[in-house]
Structure 1
Amino acid sequence: MFEIAELGHTLKKSEYNEQIPELRTQLLLLQQQLGTCDFPVIILISGVDGGGKGQVINLLNEWLDARYMETFAFDEPSDEEKERPKYWRYWRSLPPKGRIGIYVGSWYSDPISHRVYGDIDDSQLSVELKHINEMEQLLINDGALIIKCWLHLKKETQKKRLKELEKDPETSWQVTERDKKHLKLYDEFVEIAENVLTTTSTGISPWLVVEGADIRYSSLTVGQHVLHRIRQHIESRNGKSENINGLPFVNINQQSLLDTLDLSLELDKKDYNDQLLHYQGKLNKLVRMAREQKRSTILVFEGWDAAGKGGAIRRTTSAIDARSYRVIQTAAPTDEEAAHHYLWRFWRHIPRAGKVTIYDRSWYGRVLVERVEGFAQEKEWMRSYSEIVNFEEALIEHGILLLKFWLHIDKDEQLERFKAREQISYKKHKITEDDYRNREKWDDYKIAVNEMIARTSTRAVPWLMIEANDKRYARIKILKTVCEKLEAMLEPEK
């Protein structure tokens, strides 16, 4: 889920200087309005070491009226705090209605740190996160607005940042032995943090993940997010907005993961035919091995209309014994399906041991078409992210290999494929008025896809991004990936 914050986001000084005056003005005006409101604002600033948490908090203090806000930094509990329940020190610092409290080192710090250092195990961490969710829900039920921001850095960037700080005599004091120790534990920290954010990012209190390498970019993004959240909350409390529960997981100004894909990648026909035979033969063998070892596989195909999902699925299934797989075409739910939880119809088709189920579109329709077209209320699709992550965790905990592919093409390529289909008699049926109507919402779908990937791509079940402007390249990449993942899962033949 941190992929969105590892793309190298930066902001030019001129752009920053142009936007900051208006942001500061709007924040101050909104803060004045907040003073008459019946709820407090709690801002949590967390993230990796060197991610710029302190700088962002300093700027928020500079931009906002300090008379109506307070910043709290929590470290090791004092003797007085140790003599009381762990949440006592947080409760006593909560801001009153109409005020803002900014927290660095919040109720998330200790559970993450204790898990990284092995002081608690996964089950104990789960209990801690349950308590956190309960406390936040209690505050939200009373009207509080909780804004949670995570400042992230890639490992290489964090290492470079700490070296730069340590090299400068004026900033060397900022780098402690603890920071150096944490750098060695980076991979463990990020894995645990991903679990924490996924578990505690709820529909009404989501985490914003921001790249922290460039302070201009990170501070502006956090400032805009704070402005948006407070304004939205005031409107919802006044009954002026239906947009109560949902807000973007990532700032709309952040570069889309889709934009990083190289759609010029292609494969000539000869290479394609050679590799197709190779990987189909390999896949056939691996699927037979999986059947013998009773290991199930689920393949999820999502992507733009005309991105080539059907063609990729056919090249996959043609390598597998028809008795070993099922392809589930997901369309609008039937009356029976609509009468159940939206995941019900997907649970029904989970494969038996050793079998393969392929979903041509899937449960992600809840956060894509149902979101964009308004078939699901915002509070429904917002909570679906965590529901989907939990659903997928249940599958992999059972030993199922779950692979999910997003086939990406650009808008021009899609139009060319639409027009080509209209010229082929046996493909005309694939093009409908809805396909062209959906193109008009391309930007809305792009935002939804980017958010979907950011919130549901985990280390255990990452999204596999397929550059699909060239169908041959896409098909081979998919077949190769399936073979590699199956090989890694299966026990070697004796």
Structure 2
Amino acid sequence: MFESAELGHTIDKETFKTEVPKLREALLEAQYELREKGNFPVVVLISGVDGAGKGETINELYEWMDPRYLSTLAFSAPSDEEAERPFMWRYWRALPPKGRMGIFAGSWYSIPIHRRIDGEIDQAFFDQRIDQFNRFEAMLVNEGALVLKFWFHLSKDGQKTRLKALEKDPRTAWRVTKESWERLKTYDKLQDVASHLLRMTNTPWAPWIVVEGTDDRYRSLTVGKMILDALQKRLADTRDQNYPVAPPIFPKIDALDVLTALDLEQKLAKKEYETRLAKAQARLAELVRSPEFSKRSLILAFEGADAAGKGGSIRRIAAALDARQYQIVPIAAPTEEERAQPYLWRFWRHIPRNGRATIFDRTWYGRVLVERVEGFCSEADWLRAYAEINDFEHELAADGAIIVKFWLQISKEEQFRRFKEREDIAFKRFKITEEDWRNREKWDEYHQAVCDMVERTSTGAAPWTLVEANDKNFARVKVLETVCARLEAALKDKKRHD
């Protein structure tokens, strides 16, 4: 879930100076409308790694908005009075009333995270807390609250660099403590714990918004605009306030995302392609025939832009496998039988047994891609699907499945070239339909949907691999080498499955 927060998002000083006055005016108008209507509270959680700018962002919000109608709650170790009460007691007491915004700096998530990192609580207890938080937040939303959860992220090197910069500046040196440097040593553990927590609490009613904390201007402007957008949409919502409303998904304000960051010009010469392809196919054949694989299963999920080359990549994988060992499942519109069942039912039907592989040509992600963009399901359905899909994949991985997910990306120009080629070549005409051309007209909508999908469903157990597919040779080799690397690493990990 952290890929898009390590791309190096920045906002230049002139853009920031131009945008802030308009943002401040709009935030104040929304804040006063919230106070005047007084029909729901706003709960903002600011969490993340040390040095990512949590305090600075809160200070910016106080400067941009009317502080009389804001409250900031900072929680450290519980007092004696708080320790003698149930864990959630002090958070209940701190909730903002309708018409106001409460900012939680160190929320109900902080103590369980640190206790889990320090080994004071086990995974089972941690997960019990997570379930408690999910129910608590669901209650808040069902009572009408708008819940916005921000996680400020830095890479390990980025955190170290930022702490040094803060320590060097006399105006900010006080923010860096001995504990800050101590926590840097546990960065990898924090990422493991935080990744699990974000996945488990990334609910449709209160999803996490991961923000890169490297650039102050980008971070502040992003948070300010997302709060404004969520407030404006909620204030304009005329539905029953007990109807669960999730914060809107907001595009990156600097136009940098996981797709635009790809270098689509990468290529492989024919000779190198043939050498690496043969080597990867041989390695894959060895891996799936190894004794270790008999205790595991392999699930390959292929998504991508139309004409990006999913079929070609799948054929190169299948060429390395025994036909008795795998099945390819093409996914199209659901049948009547499938529509009569819960959405994920038709995918559960094809989950492979140990020692086998299933290759999905299109997947369960159709709900948050084509169904979202084309309006084939409700907003509530596709917002809910992110959490349901994450849980689905987590359950598969926990039972021993090795899940490898690919998104194949091509440029709009390359897609047009391939569409025309398919029309001109007789044996390829079956690949091009009127629907492909209609989908192309919604390129931008699909682009945003893909970025949201990657950000919300790229987990430790089932990360996305984005494949630069303008060059088919490069794409096919990257796919095969990724499958081999993931499979090899998983088969070496015997901690859970021996």
TM-score, structure 2 length as denominator? 0.95
CA RMSD after TM alignment: 1.8
Give 1:55's aligned amino acid.
Answer: E
Give the Cα–Cα distance (whole angstroms) in 2 for the partners of residues 349 and 107 of structure 1: 39
Q: Distance in 2 between matches of 1:166 and 1:292?
A: 50
Structure 2 residue 441 is matched with structure 1 residue 440:
yes
**Segment drifting more, 228-237 vs 436-445:** 228-237
Aligned residue in 2 for 1:103: 104
Q: Is 2:79 the counterpart of 1:75?
A: no
The offset of 1:405, in angstroms, is 0.8
Aligned to 1:173: 174
> Which residue number corresponds to residue 299 of structure 2?
298
- What corresponds to 1:373 in structure 2? 374
Secondary structure of the corresponding residue to residue 20 of structure 2: helix
| Change over 3 Å in CA distance of 1:331–1:290 after alignment to 2 | farther
Alignment match, 2:208: 207
Which residue of structure 1 aligns with residue 496 of structure 2? none
TM-superposition CA deviations, 1:283-337 (whole Å, max 9, x none) = 2222222686342111111100000000111111112111111000000000001
Q: Does 1:40 align with 2:44?
A: no
Post-superposition offset of 1:252: 5.5
Does the aligned pair in 2 maintain the 1:246–1:378 contact within 8 Å? no
Tell me how far 1:239 sits from its aligned partner: 6.4
Q: 1 CA distance for matches of 2:290 and 2:50?
A: 45
In the alignment, which residue of structure 2 is the partner of 1:13? 13
Deviation at 1:251, TM superposition (A): 4.2
Q: Determine the structure 2 residue equivalent to 1:424.
A: 425
Report if the CA contact (8 A) 1:406-1:466 is conserved. yes
**Residues 239 and 124 of structure 1: is their aligned pair in 2 closer, same or farther, counting only changes over 3 Å?**
closer
1:108-143 deviation per Cα after TM superposition (whole angstroms, max 9, x unaligned): 111111111111111111110111111111221211
SS in 2 for 1:490: helix
1:243–1:146 CA distance, 2 compared to 1 (3 A): closer
- Asked if 1 retains the 8 angstrom alpha-carbon contact of 2:205 and 2:244, the reply is no
| Structure 1: gaps of 5 or more residues | none
Question: Pairwise mapping of residues 40-189 of structure 1 onto structure 2 (< 5 A)?
Answer: 40-189=41-190
SS state at 1:43 partner: strand
Corresponding residue of 2:286: 285
Tell me how far 1:81 sits from its aligned partner. Answer: 1.5
Structure 1 residue 162 displacement after superposition: 0.8
Residue 256 of structure 2 aligns to a residue in which SS? coil
Q: Is the 8 A contact 2:9 2:254 kept in 1?
A: no
- Name 2:325's counterpart in structure 1: 324
Per the alignment, residue 341 of structure 1 pairs with 342
Residue aligned with 1:159, SS:
helix
Shift of 1:486: 2.3
The range that moved more, 80-89 or 442-451, is 80-89
Q: 2:26 aligns to what?
A: 26
Q: Could you give the per-residue CA deviations for residues 209-235 of structure 1, whole angstroms, max 9, x where no partner exists?
A: 111111111111101111111112222
Q: Is the 8 A contact 2:403 2:461 kept in 1?
A: no
Secondary structure of the structure 2 residue equivalent to 1:473: helix
Question: Following TM superposition, by how much is the alpha carbon of 1:12 offset from its aligned partner in structure 2, in angstroms?
Answer: 0.7
Give, in whole Å, the separation in 2 of the partners of 1:271 and 1:127: 51
Task: Determine the C-alpha separation between the residues in 2 that align with 1:195 and 1:216.
Answer: 29
What is residue 226 of structure 1 aligned with on the other side? 227
TM-score norm. by structure 1 comes to 0.96
CA spacing shift, 1:171–1:452, aligned 2, 3 Å: same
Q: How far off its partner does 1:275 sit?
A: 2.2
Amino acid paired to 1:52:
G
- Quick one: which amino acid aligns to residue 337 of structure 1? E
Q: Aligned partners of 1:481 and 1:422: how far apart in 2?
A: 32
Unaligned 5+ runs, structure 2:
494-498
Paired residue secondary structure (2:236):
helix
Alpha-carbon offset, residue 246 of structure 1:
5.7
Pick closer, same or farther for the CA change 1:454–1:290 going to 2, 3 Å: farther
Could you tell me which residue of structure 2 aligns to residue 3 of structure 1?
3
What's the CA shift string for 1:232-258, capped at 9, x where partnerless? 222224569x99446216646552101
1:286 is matched by which residue type in structure 2? L
Distance in 2 separating the partners of 1:134 and 1:9: 34
- CA distance in 1 between counterparts of 2:292 and 2:330 reads 23
In 1: Cα distance, 2:254 partner to 2:245 partner: 21
Count residues with an aligned counterpart.
Answer: 491
Maintained 8 Å contact 1:151/1:211: yes
Deviation at 1:479, TM superposition (A): 1.3
Distance 1:252 1:191 in 2: 28
Comparing 82-91 and 28-37, the one that deviates more? 82-91
Query: Any conservation in 2 of the 1:296–1:355 contact (CA below 8 Å)?
Result: yes
- Equivalent residue number for residue 489 of structure 2: 488
CA distance change for structure 1 residues 243 and 174 in 2, over 3 Å: closer, same or farther? Answer: closer
Whole-angstrom CA distance in 1 between matches of 2:490 and 2:64: 52
Q: Secondary structure at the match of 1:257?
A: coil
CA distance in 2, matches of 1:320, 1:127: 42
